[in-house]
Amino acid sequence: MKLQEIYDLVIKMGIEHDPRGLEVVQKQLTKEKKKIEDLKEDEKKEVDQDRLFNPYTDTRVLYGELNREVKRILVGVDMEVAEVLLADRLEEKGKKIDLIMAHHPEGKAMAGLYDVMHLQEDLLAQLGVPINVAEGIMAGRIAEVRRGLMPVNHNRAVDAARLLDIPLMCCHTPADNMVTEYVQKKIAENNCETLGDIVKVLKQIPEYAAAVKTGAGPTIVVGSKDRSAGKVFVDMTGGTSGSEDAYAKLSTAGVGTLVVMHISEKHRKEAEKNHVNVIIAGHMASDSLGMNLILDDLEKQGVEVLTCSGLIRIKRF
């Protein structure tokens, strides 16, 4: 496959499995196009043109010509300078790496991570939180994340890839959309009544079963296995953790249980205060599941996949 074809496929899959639905995503892209068209000519020069067709600012080709042929890729959760050097070392040993694919964003995709958090506003609205309230509680958190990213030396891995001339891209929200949809469906199909039922279902998914063996499997952090699950919300997409103020609104909207990749102690305490159960599914396992659902499509088209950096590779074909 060409690098362009891989990039297009990643975006396509992200949109098709976006929990907001196709109509909302298309509306976002239309708004973005209008916003760019209305800019002054000197301002247009600063715009990332990928925004016209890619709704996920945390997913980008970071280095490499789009017409490059890709036969073998090295994929992992965090692909930083060490992993770029690993790709070069593999090439020295006879395994040429045509593309490095990270899950977590690097370069300008990391700088743009905050922008995909608006996705969380639409998800809160779908659950019954008024959109004005959802936007209000997310505004401060989005600004906080943006400020936090400003001092980060986010281009280190991109520079290393450029010097070694190895194409580099990252696939973040599209993969997170995949795992969110997959886990939400699994829980719904099994009519989980208690938190214990949810954990049991999660452990039947190979990535989570593998994580159990390394001590990083599904864990209840608010509630107990006999607690009623109520309305279950799988919250694994939208850039990074949302606002602490969301838990009170989720509780009011009738959400009984959150299934997340990870949660900070501040967020956990807010969930507990508002009687919202929380199950941590596992970070690396969840990221692996989302990436695997995309990597399967790449392998079906003849691309060889090598994995590292915490990615638990499970094929589903």
> CA dist 289 to 1, 176, 192, 222, Å?
22, 9, 20, 24
Neighbours of 213 (CB within 10 A): 8
Q: Exposure pattern of 268-289 as b/e (b: 16+ CB <10 Å)?
A: bebbeebebbbbbbbbbbbbbb
153 CB-near residues (< 8 Å, 6+ apart): none
- Give me the residue label for tokens 């949660």: 263
Tokens representing 247?
């838990």
CA atoms of 154 and 162, how far apart (whole Å) = 14
For residue 168, the SS3 value is: strand
CA atoms of 50 and 141, how far apart (whole Å) = 25
- How are beta strands 255-260 and 277-280 bridged, if at all? parallel
Asked if residue 267 belongs to a known ligand binding site, the reply is: no
- How are beta strands 304-308 and 60-63 bridged, if at all? unpaired
Tokens representing 274?
């508002």
CA atoms of 150 and 210, how far apart (whole Å) = 36
Asked if residue 283 belongs to a known ligand binding site, the reply is: yes
The DSSP secondary-structure symbol of 113 reads G
Segment holding 307, helix H or strand E: strand 304-308
Indicate the burial class of 167 (C-beta count within 10 angstroms; 0-12, 13-18, 19 or more).
buried
For CA atoms 200, 122, 20, 177, give the dihedral sign: negative
Residue ranges for the binding site? 176, 283
Question: Which residues are annotated as part of the binding site for a divalent metal cation?
Answer: 176, 283
